Chain A
Amino acid sequence: MTQALLAARDLSKNFGPNAVLRGLEFEVHEGACVALCGENGAGKSTLIKVLSGLLAPSSGHVEYLGEKRDWSGPRESLDAGIAVVHQEFSTIGALSIAENILLGAEPLTRLGLIDRKALNARAKALLDSLDIALPPKKLVDSLSVAEKQMVEIAKALRSDARVLILDEPTAVLSQNETTHLFRLIGELKARGMGLIYVSHRLDEIFQVCTDITVIKDGVVTANGPVSSFTHDSVVSAMVGRELGDMFPPKGTNSANGEHVLEVRDLVVAPGVPPATFHVDAGEILGLAGLVGSGRTELARAIYGADPGPGTVLLMGEPLVRRSPAGSIEAGLMMLTESRKDDGLFLESSVARNFTATTPGLGAHHANIPPGFEERRALAMKDRFGVVVDHVGLPISALSGGNQQKVLIARLLENRPKLVILDEPTRGVDVGAKAEIYRILRQLAHDGVAILVISSELIEVVGLCDRVYVMRHGELARELTGAEITEEAIIAVAAAETARTTGGLHHG
Chain B
Amino acid sequence: MVDIIRATRAGPVHLVVLALIMLVFAVGVYTSDRFATPLNLAGVQDQMVALALVALAQTIVILSGGIDLSFAGALSTLCVVFAMIAGDDPQTLVMGVAAVLALGASIGLVNGAITVYLGIHPFIVTLGTSTILSGTALLLTRQPTGSVPVFFEDFLYERLGPMPYGMIFVLSLYLLVGAMLWKTRFGTRIYAVGDNEAAAEISGVPVRQTKIAVYVLSGLLAAVAAVYMTGRFGVGDPRAGVGFDLRSITPVIVGGTLLAGGRGGVLGTFLAVVLLALLGNVLNFVNVPSAYQWIVEGLIIIAAVSFFARRAR
Contacts and interface: CB of A to CB of B under 8 A. Distances in A.
B241 to A, nearest CB: 31
A114 interface: yes
Interface in B203-222: 203-206
B204 A75 contact: yes
B158 interface: no
B184 A104 contact: no
Contacts of B2: 137
A90 B203 contact: yes
Contact of A96 (B6, B183, B194, B206): B6
B89 interface: no
Interface string A63-87: 0000000000111001100001010
A78 B194 CA distance: 22
A94 B263 contact: yes
B184 A94 contact: no
Contacts of B201: 73-74
A113 B204 contact: no
A103 B187 CA distance: 11
Contact of B6 (A86, A137, A155): A137
B199 A94 contact: no
A74 to B, nearest CB: 5
A108 B184 CA distance: 8
B255 to A, nearest CB: 16
B16 to A, nearest CB: 20
Given A74-B201, A74-B204, A96-B6, A113 B195 contact: no
B206 A103 contact: no
A106 interface: yes
Contact of B205 (A88, A89, A91, A103): A103
A92 interface: yes
B104 interface: no
Contacts of B200: 90, 92, 103
> Which interface residue of B192, B204, B263 has the most chain A CB atoms within 10 A?
B204
B202 interface: yes
Nearest to B9: A94
B203 A93 contact: no
B203 A94 contact: no
A283 interface: no
Contacts of A99: 188
B92 to A, nearest CB: 34
Contact of B188 (A79, A89, A95): A95
A92 B185 contact: no
A9 interface: no
Interface in B1-19: 2-3, 6
A156 to B, nearest CB: 10
A116 interface: yes
Contact of B192 (A54, A75, A84, A92): A92
A338 to B, nearest CB: 16
A106 B188 contact: yes
Nearest to B201: A74
Interface in A85-136: 86, 88-96, 99, 103-104, 106, 108, 112-114, 116
B195 A114 contact: no
A104 B183 contact: no
A106 B262 CA distance: 19
Given A75-B206, A93-B196, A104 B185 contact: yes
A92 B195 contact: yes
Given A78-B204, A89-B199, A137-B6, A94 B262 contact: yes
A137 B7 CA distance: 11
Given A99-B188, A112-B184, A116-B3, A90 B202 contact: yes
Contacts of A108: 185
> Which interface residue of A103, A114, A155 has the most chain B CB atoms within 10 A?
A103
A141 to B, nearest CB: 9
Contact of B262 (A73, A84, A92, A96): A92
B184 A95 contact: no
B191 interface: yes
Nearest to B194: A94
Contacts of B184: 112-114
Interface string A331-362: 00000000000000000000000000000000
A73 B2 CA distance: 36
A74 B205 CA distance: 9
> Which interface residue of B192, B201, B205, B206 has the most chain A CB atoms within 10 A?
B192
A93 B199 CA distance: 10
B178 to A, nearest CB: 13
A496 to B, nearest CB: 31
Interface in B168-201: 182-185, 188-189, 191-192, 194-196, 198-201
> Which interface residue of B2, B185, B189, B262 has the most chain A CB atoms within 10 A?
B185
A41 to B, nearest CB: 21
Given A95-B188, A103-B188, A54 B195 contact: no
A94 B185 contact: no
B50 to A, nearest CB: 29
> Which interface residue of A78, A95, A96, A108 has the most chain B CB atoms within 10 A?
A95
B185 A114 contact: yes
Contacts of B194: 94
B3 A114 contact: no
Contacts of B188: 95, 99, 103, 106, 114
Contacts of A155: 203
> Which interface residue of A89, A93, A139, A155 has the most chain B CB atoms within 10 A?
A93
A54 B263 contact: no
B192 A93 contact: no
Contacts of A114: 182-185, 188
B205 A104 contact: yes
Interface string A34-67: 0000000000000000000010000000000000
Given A113-B184, A114-B183, A137-B2, A95 B202 contact: no
A104 B195 contact: no
Given A75-B206, A137-B6, A95 B185 contact: no
Contacts of B262: 92-94
A155 B199 CA distance: 12
Interface string B69-111: 0000000000000000000000000000000000000000000
B64 to A, nearest CB: 11
Given A90-B196, A103-B200, A103-B204, 14 more contacts: A73-B201, A79-B204, A90-B202, A92-B191, A92-B192, A93-B196, A94-B194, A94-B195, A95-B195, A96-B6, A108-B185, A113-B184, A114-B184, A114-B185
24 contacts: A73-B201, A75-B206, A86-B202, A89-B199, A90-B199, A90-B200, A90-B202, A90-B203, A91-B199, A92-B195, A92-B199, A92-B262, A93-B195, A94-B191, A94-B263, A95-B195, A96-B6, A103-B188, A104-B189, A112-B184, A114-B182, A114-B185, A116-B3, A137-B6
Question: Sorted from nearest, which 3 A-B pairs have the closest CB atoms?
Answer: A75-B204, A90-B199, A94-B195
Interface of A: 54, 73-75, 78-79, 84, 86, 88-96, 99, 103-104, 106, 108, 112-114, 116, 137, 139, 155
Interface of B: 2-3, 6, 182-185, 188-189, 191-192, 194-196, 198-206, 262-263
